[in-house]
Amino acid sequence: MDMKKLFYLWLSISLTLNLYAQEVKFHYSLTELYADIDRQLADKPGHAPVIGISSNDVNGKIQVNTTYVNAVLKAGGVPLVLPCTLQPEALATLLRQVDGLLLTGGEDFHPLLYGEEPLRQLGDVNTHRDVYDLMVLHIALQLKLPILGICRGEQLCNIGLGGTLYQDLPAQKAGVGMHRQSIPATVGSHSITIEPDSYLHRILGREQAVVNSFHHQAVKELAPGLKVSARSADGVVEAIEGFPTYNLLALQFHPEHLVNGDDAESFMPIFRDLIERAKSYKRKP
Binding site for Mn ion (CB under 5 A): 179, 213
162: alpha, beta or left? (left if phi > 0; alpha if psi -120 to 50): left
**Rounded to the nearest whole angstrom, what is the least distance from the CB of residue 155 to Mn ion in the complex?**
12
The most distant pair of C-alpha atoms in the chain lies apart, rounded to whole Å, by: 66
**Please, are residues 90 and 118 in contact by the beta-carbon 8 Å criterion?**
no
Which of 179, 215, 254, 257 does the annotation list as catalytic? 254
Which of 151, 179, 257, 276 does the annotation list as catalytic? 151
CB-nearer residue toward Mn ion: 80 or 236: 236
* 229 HSE (CA, 13 A, CB side): 25
CB-nearer residue toward Mn ion: 254 or 277: 254
**Rounded to the nearest whole angstrom, what is the least distance from the CB of residue 18 to Mn ion in the complex?**
34
Q: Is 254 a catalytic residue?
A: yes
**Rounded to the nearest whole angstrom, what is the least distance from the CB of residue 76 to Mn ion in the complex?**
28
**Rounded to the nearest whole angstrom, what is the least distance from the CB of residue 73 to Mn ion in the complex?**
26
CB-nearer residue toward Mn ion: 79 or 153: 153
Tell me the DSSP string of 175-242. T----B--S-TTS--EEEEE-TTSHHHHHH--SEEEE--B-S-EESSPPTT-EEEEEETT--EEEEE-
Contacts of residue 278, defined as CB under 8 A and 6 or more positions apart, other chains included, come to 49, 50, 51, 77, 98, 99, 100, 146
CB-nearer residue toward Mn ion: 132 or 166: 166
* CA-to-CA dists, residue 93 to 57, 140, 164, angstroms: 20, 11, 30
Closest residue to Mn ion: CB criterion: 213
Indicate which residues carry an active-site annotation: 151, 254, 256
